[in-house]
Amino acid sequence: MRFPRKFAGIFGLVFLALVLSPSAGAKTKSRTEPQTHKVTSKPLAATVRSKVGRYPIVGKKSDRARLASSGVSRKTTRKVARIESERVASRAVEEADFDSAGNPLLRSAAFYVQDVRTGQVLLEKNSSSVVPIASITKLMTAMVVLDAHLPLNEVLEVSEDDVDRLKGTSSRLAVGTRMSREELMRLALMSSENRAASSLSRNYPGGQKVFVDAMNAKAQLLGMGDTRFYDGSGLNHSNVSSARDLATLVSNASHYPLIREFTTTAEYTAELAGGRIHTFHNTNSLVRSPEWQIEVSKTGFINESGKCLVMQAWMANKPLAIVLLDSWGRFTRLADANRIRRWLEEVLPRNGAKMAGTPPSAQTSIN
């Protein structure tokens, strides 16, 4: 059958319109889009993996299954990332420990490092500034108690008068707790118990006022002209001193065997009111480190003073008084102490400095 020429022309126009229609183009495009997306996703994933290293990002369930079968878990990848982050941070801190001349970069606002034997000042900054000293006060509290030769086995009771009304600090020693004078002194020095220090001063002959007067008289006797006390715990921010004066305090405190023992005891378990057993810990974690030879230690903190640390310790075969005041970071005072030790034992010898000395076989003792 032969189509008329007129119908053949019409059929050709319809066919051409179908070929050029948008729907036909859309179908063609929709078929190619998945392939295009798949191709572009590969470089993106490769970029992400290159940023995190050889450990893949764990996301989909199928990813977790593959990692489980290969022995790598999400927990492992996070741990590796955390450890690497800590290493980077540690290297940054170490690099900032010393300046280009090898001197330690200490962060405490005031510090003083002195050779106790010769009196040589090795490091100092703002050492004559008079500032609040918080619980460093308790070293003088213990010295005054021991100077009075009061019976250490006498049992004292924590009372309402020992509760901190000034700062509102808490205590593990409940009102009614009964302890010997020696135990209270141990907890005041080792764990910085404020109620223990208050009880010691309150049970001094003549009471707290006479006790504080004795503290100030002792400070004057030792030549601590920058020092003034108003209580035996250090909660009163009017208890002030200078880094130079505190070096004198810590070196004199080292002559008391009980102060040396109590300030360097790592922990102590005591029976409290009601038969409750509690373990107290030293507020200076350095006393638990085998790298340190600490003879006397005391920490302190109130808002007005910042974090403080005084020690007498052996470094590079020398007995050193170390005073670090107004340190605001959580670990600043400890980090500064470690910088001083590294400076004396590693940096100075490497630079040819002589740090000779021998620990004494016996110490001069009081009490």
Catalytic positions are: 135, 138, 192
* Tally of CA atoms within 13 A in the half-sphere of 34 that contains its CB: 4
CB 215 within 8 A of CB 144: yes
Cβ neighbours of residue 127 under 8 Å, at least 6 residues apart? 110, 111, 112, 121, 242, 243, 244, 323
Q: What is the CA radius of gyration of the chain?
A: 36
Q: Are 321 and 312 in contact (CB under 8 A)?
A: yes
At residue 16, φ and ψ (nearest 5 deg) are -65, -40
Give residues with Cβ within 8 angstroms of 88, minimum separation 6: none
Measured CA to CA, the distance from residue 155 to residue 152 in angstroms comes to: 8
Fill in the amino acid letter for 235: L
C-alpha to C-alpha distances, 117 to 88, 124, 139, 248, 297, nearest whole angstrom: 40, 17, 20, 12, 18
Helix axis angle for 181-190 and 194-202, nearest 10°, is: 140
β-bridge mates for residue 302, sequence order? 306
* Distance from C-alpha of 342 to C-alpha of 340, rounded to nearest angstrom: 6
Residues 298-327 as b or e (16 or more Cβ within 10 Å = b): bbbbbeebbbbbbbbbebbebbbbbbbbbb
Residue 69 host element (H or E): helix 61-70
Phi-psi region at 192: left, alpha or beta (left = phi > 0; alpha = psi -120 to 50): left
